[in-house]
Amino acid sequence: MSLIVDCDPALGLPMSDVDDALALWALLARGIEIEAITTVFGNSTLPRVHAVATDLGARWSIRVFRGASRPGDVDTPAVERLLAHRGDVLAIGPQTNIAAALSRGASWSRLVLLGGTDRRLVNLRPLHTTELNFALDEAAAAAALAGCTDLVPMEPCRAVLFRAAHFRVLPPWMEPLCQGWLRLGPLLNGHLGVVPWDVVAALYYAGVDGFIVEPRGVALASGPLRRGYVRYHPGTVRVVTGVQPASFYAAWTALGAATPAAVPAP
């Protein structure tokens, strides 16, 4: 099944997460064909994340379509591409492009979202200490939740942590660009490592072992200090509720032997 990845990659940008790029690489290493990348603001401004995505697309021969630069930015090439798509969509950034496409009648085989939290802690802006993707465009998140088939929330992602050794499976050109993110680990979560949020969603989509999934209904449940929060009720959305670390790390390490082909950046 063809796949579009909607994301906000920030590989190599200062003080920014690199997990979108790692997720794209992981999917390719698993042999999954990515038909297109659509970009959205989030980890950094749209011009910056789109430039990163364009570089990655050139390396891996994937077409890249510019998306939303802010909430409410709905008239973009990314939305048009998503409208024409009939396969799967993996959305690992804010949901602005996804909601805009759904509002115009987009129909996909599967819509997998990364986002949402039910932690009993405040989400302090601009730090987004507990959730980012849904918090940056809550109206879009609510609309995307109404159409999603699978949800990977923040809680199960926290079961795994990437340390320096986990980056050694990456291609030589990628590993140095991840070091700034790794150094941020103690500031972000108090550990000598980083939570690989988007990689968790990518490996779940790829069907690796070790994920615990429950059927639930999901709705946005936000407040002034709880942006991006969700609540659960009976339903049919496949929600990831747990990750078995040993299985996850084994699947990640195995990717080093299946590195996807890349060409030098133009």
Per-residue pLDDT of 204-240, as tens digits, reads 999 999 999 999 999 998 777 788 999 999 999 999 9
**SS3 for 80?**
helix
Mean pLDDT of 244-261: 86
> Strands, DSSP E only, in the chain?
3-7, 34-39, 63-65, 88-91, 110-114, 150-152, 211-220, 230-243
- Total-model pTM: 0.94
- Summarised one tens digit per residue, pLDDT across range 101-118 is 999 999 999 999 999 998
Half-sphere exposure of residue 257, counting CA atoms within 13 Å on the CB side?
4
| pLDDT higher than 90, residue 130 | no
Binned at pLDDT 50, 70 and 90, residue 61 comes out as very high
Half-sphere exposure of residue 144, counting CA atoms within 13 Å on the CB side?
33
Mean pLDDT of 79-92: 98
> Which residue do the tokens 């790692």 mark?
22
The greatest distance separating any two alpha carbons of the chain, rounded to the nearest whole angstrom, comes to 50
Phi and psi based region of residue 232 (left: phi greater than 0; alpha: psi -120 to 50; beta: remaining): beta
Neighbours of 48 (CB within 10 A): 18
| pLDDT higher than 50, residue 266 | no
**Domains in the chain, start-ordered, CATH in brackets?**
3-256 (3.90.245.10)
Instruction: Report the mean per-residue pLDDT for the chain.
Output: 91
| pLDDT higher than 50, residue 87 | yes
Binned at pLDDT 50, 70 and 90, residue 264 comes out as very low
The residues near 245 (Cβ < 8 Å, ≥ 6 apart) are 159, 160, 210
| pLDDT higher than 70, residue 263 | no
- Report how far residue 137's alpha carbon sits from residue 96's, in angstroms, rounded to the nearest whole number: 7
Mean pLDDT of 182-194: 74
- Report how far residue 204's alpha carbon sits from residue 208's, in angstroms, rounded to the nearest whole number: 6
Select the more confidently predicted residue: 172 or 262: 172
Share of the chain above pLDDT 70, in %: 91
- Summarised one tens digit per residue, pLDDT across range 230-239 is 999 999 999 9
Sign of CA dihedral 243, 245, 246, 251: positive
